[in-house]
Structure 1
Amino acid sequence: MLKVTEYSAEFVKDPFGILAGKRYEFLIDLDVPEDDELHSEHGVYARVIFRVEGEQSAIVKYDLLERTTNRLLDVDLEEEEEAELAAFCREHLPEA
């Protein structure tokens, strides 16, 4: 289970209207237990691009990074964790 400690979200403008739907960028700080393979002593956060089009919404892309170094972590979330992340984004969409 993902434990979110802090987050920010903002609407990403598409001035040319090339992409269908609306895009949002989330920066989500995660509290990761020491025994988890995702754990880093520097802290971990997720950078998520989330798409909303009508009633449909989904993660377009996510990256997991170390908090202090911004180094990309070479790990993927498990299916359930990715679903949790998508649900979190859906619940915390900013007003655009």
Structure 2
Amino acid sequence: MLEITTYSVEFIKDPFGILSGRRYEFLVDIELDEEDDLYSSNGIYIRAVYSVEEGGNRLVKHELIERVTDKLLDFELEDEEVEELLVFCAEHYAEADAQ
């Protein structure tokens, strides 16, 4: 289960109109147990790109990044965690439009 501590969401501008739908970038801080394989004393965050389209919303990509070094980690979220992230993005993407 993802334990989200803080997050930010921002609308990604597409000045050339290349992308279909609307894209949002999420930066999601997560807290991990020291026993977790992903654990880092520097902290971990997820950078996720979420797409809102007529045919349905989806998670375009997500990356795990070490907080202090901004180093991309070579780990994947489990399927349940990806689903949790997708639901989280669906619940919060509109906050970027309200800003």
**Alignment TM-score > 0.5, same fold:** yes
| Alignment partner, residue 5 of structure 2 | 5
Measured in 1, the distance between the counterparts of 2:50 and 2:96 equals 14
Q: Aligned-pair distance for 1:92?
A: 0.6
| Count of residues in Structure 1 that have an aligned counterpart in Structure 2 | 96
1:63 corresponding residue in structure 2: 63
Task: Show the 5 A alignment for 1:5-84.
Answer: 5-54=5-54, 56-84=56-84
Specify the SS of the correspondent of 2:57: strand
Distance 2:43 2:18 in 1: 35
Structure number with higher strand proportion: 1
Q: Structure 2, unaligned stretches of length 5 or more?
A: none
% identity of equivalent residues: 51
Deviation at 1:95, TM superposition (A): 4.2
8 A contact 2:9–2:96 mirrored in 1: no
Q: Please list every run of 5 or more consecutive structure 1 residues that lacks an aligned counterpart in the other structure.
A: none
**Structure 1: distance between partners of 2:91 and 2:67:** 24
Under a length normalisation based on structure 2, what TM-score does the superposition of the two structures give? 0.93
Aligned equivalents of 2:13 and 2:52: distance in 1? 13
Q: Which runs of 4+ in 1 moved over 3 A?
A: none
State the Cα deviation string for residues 19-72 of structure 1 (Å, max 9, x = none). Answer: 100000000000011111111110000000110002611110111001111011
